[in-house]
Amino acid sequence: MHYAANTLENYWMPFTANRSFKQNPKLFVRAEGMYYWNHQGERVLDGSSGLFCVAAGHGRREIADAVARQFTEIDYSPPFQFGHPGAFELSRRLAAILPDDLNYIFYGNSGSEAIDSALKISLAYHRARGEGQRMRFVGRERAYHGVNFGGISISGMVRNREAFGLGLPGVVHMRHTWLPEQRFSKGQPEAGAELADDLQRLVDLHGADNIAACVVEPIAGSVGCIVPPKGYLGRLREICDRHGILLIFDEVITGFGRTGKPFAADSFEVVPDMITMAKALTNGNLPMGAVAVRDDIYETIVNAAPDGTIELFHGYTYSACPVAVAASLAALDIYRDEGLFERAGELSPYFLDSIFALEGIPAITDIRGYGLLAAVELAPGSAPGERGAEALRRLYEAGLLVKATGDALLLSPPLIADRSHVDEICETLRKVLGAL
């Protein structure tokens, strides 16, 4: 596509230093496989799957064709009181790869909407069971659950909360799970399972029967890949079970093979009551988010309403939009046919060994990683985030795209990566971070 874009003025960019960007723009104009090309014609290796979403790599013909076919067959269908076959087929396909009895899928357009849907479903579920007083949510420090009011309320990143008022009432937070003694632990750290007891402390303080749900990312992703200590998630599960609290895993980043299994719930062998997903759900090619719930949650809400009446007063104009569904079905076909989840699991030891071999570069204070997700933490500069932003810029100029959060650099390559791409990522990191 060619645009007569001789102005950068009117686009208000999200999570961006707009004034700096417009002085020194970084535009991607083409993408294929593992690479982007920028407006200066330079090739940039995609070390972050775009924004953790392009699991099958860029420019997948199969997805483009499926979406084009869907456009000409049925472009849009109203999701309230009407359906289209693709939505049922996608739900069947997702239920088949989701753990245990997480068999019912509710759709939105993003991770943020998936999270807010999960919170609302939790409240509706308890109300349908006659426990409508369960209104509190438990989140965690340093969590990221998107940017809508529910999501920022349960999240734990100060910059995403401080400008936006009071958020949802009744939300409380557990401590995050990073401890100094975990520095440079590859995979799950040994120390820290007892941090799950924060949930019990909140139960003791607020009363178990006031808490609707506890929401965590199995691996805290956006904040810099904080991997759960061994035993931590299992302990959360036990405390939730003891007190009738729903456990929600936000798998917007970890879903679809990032940990070497379909979901992180499979990798860590802990089954939550709901899983939120987005991003790689469509290979990042069209907006879509979803929340999967256990049979009992769906049945309780649906059976509580009188026959012929709407059971859950929630949904979006683009819930299970046909073209996004087509993209998702085509992405799932690629994941299955190319064995990408298994491939990620097989590449993971090489990827992690290569990233952890960067230990010793003076600017690096910690490295964390699991599956094909890793973070390199830099010693802060004069202000928090300044060093991370400088590293992001220099890496981009050296031909590598990473995601920076504060002074952490996140690596999350597409699952089609091979060892040569891992080598290219690590050589560029070594060269650029070594010179910081």
Ligand X SMILES: Cc1ncc(COP(=O)(O)O)c(C=O)c1O
Piece of 28-36, 141-149, 295-303, 314-322 that binds ligand X (CB under 6 A): 141-149
The yes or no reply on residue 112 touching ligand X (CB under 6 A) is: yes
Residue 278 makes contact with ligand X by CB under 6 A: yes
Asked if 232 touches ligand X (CB under 6 A), the answer is no
Which residue from 99, 146, 150, 218 is in contact with ligand X, where contact means CB under 6 A? 146
* Position 144 contacts ligand X (CB under 6 A): yes
What angle separates helix 111-128 from helix 295-304, to the nearest 10 degrees? 60
| 73 φ, ψ (degrees, to nearest 5) | -80, -60
What is the C-alpha to C-alpha distance for residues 150 and 123, in angstroms, rounded to an integer? 12
Decide: is 139 part of the binding site for ligand X (CB under 6 A): no
Question: Among residues 250 and 273, whose Cβ is nearest to ligand X?
Answer: 250
Q: In whole angstroms, what is the distance from residue 122 CA to residue 108 CA? A: 16
Q: Is the Cβ of residue 250 or residue 407 nearer to ligand X in the bound state?
A: 250
Closest to ligand X by CB, 145 vs 173, is: 145
The CA distance from 421 to 347, in Å, is 11
Residue 145 sits in the site that holds ligand X (CB under 6 A): yes
Q: Closest by alpha carbon to 97, among 320, 272, 341, 284? A: 341
Size of the site for ligand X (CB under 6 A): 15
Q: 96: burial class by Cβ within 10 Å (0-12, 13-18, 19+)?
A: exposed
Q: What are phi and psi of 71, to 5 degrees?
A: -60, -40
Q: Does 222 bind ligand X (CB under 6 A)?
A: yes
405 vs 430: CA distance, rounded Å: 19
Q: Which stretch binds ligand X (CB under 6 A): 109-117, 207-215, 371-379, 422-430?
A: 109-117
How far is the C-alpha of 103 from the C-alpha of 125, rounded, in Å? 16
- 273 scored as a contact of ligand X (CB under 6 A): no
252 binds ligand X per the rule CB under 6 A = yes
In the bound complex, which residue of the shown chain has the CB atom lying closest to ligand X?
Answer: 111
Asked if residue 274 binds ligand X (CB under 6 A), the reply is: no
E strands, 278-426, in order: 289-294, 364-370, 373-378, 400-401, 403-405, 408-411
DSSP helix/strand/coil, 377: strand
> Could you tell me the smallest distance in angstroms from the CB atom of residue 371 to ligand X?
15
Closest approach of ligand X to the CB of residue 139, in Å: 11
d(CA 338, CA 416): 9
Measured from the CB of residue 2, what is the shortest distance to ligand X in angstroms? 28
Interacting residue with ligand X among 227, 253, 264, 293 (CB under 6 A)? 253
Nearer to ligand X, 252 or 320 (CB): 252
Question: Which of these segments, 139-147, 228-236, 342-350, 391-399, binds ligand X (CB under 6 A)?
Answer: 139-147
Residue with smaller CB distance to ligand X, 112 or 283:
112
Contact criterion met (CB below 8 Å) for 147 and 160: yes
Please, which residue, 410 or 433, has the CB nearer to ligand X? Answer: 410
> What is the radius of gyration, based on Cα positions, of the chain?
21
Q: Does 250 bind ligand X (CB under 6 A)?
A: yes
Closer residue to ligand X in complex, CB, 175/206: 175
Q: How far is the CB of 103 from ligand X (least distance, A)?
A: 22
Site for ligand X in 61-90 (CB under 6 A): none
Query: What does the DSSP 8-state code read for residue 193?
Result: G
Residue 406 makes contact with ligand X by CB under 6 A: no
Task: Check residue 400 for interaction with ligand X (CB under 6 A).
Answer: no
Cα separation, 172 vs 152, whole angstroms: 12
Q: Is 150 or 322 the residue whose CB approaches ligand X more closely?
A: 150
User: Starting at the edge strand that comes first in sequence, how are the strands of the sheet with 171-174 ordered?
Assistant: 102-108, 289-294, 274-277, 246-250, 211-216, 136-140, 171-174
Quote the least distance from Cβ 80 to ligand X, whole Å.
22
Q: How far is the CB of 110 from ligand X (least distance, A)?
A: 3
The answer to the question of residue 272 lying near ligand X (CB under 6 A) is no
Tell me how far apart the alpha carbons of residues 270 and 240 are, in angstroms, rounded to a whole number.
12
Q: Under a CB-based contact definition with an 8 Å cutoff, are residues 141 and 174 in contact?
A: yes
Enumerate binding residues for ligand X (CB under 6 A): 110-112, 115, 144-146, 217, 221-222, 250, 252-253, 278, 289
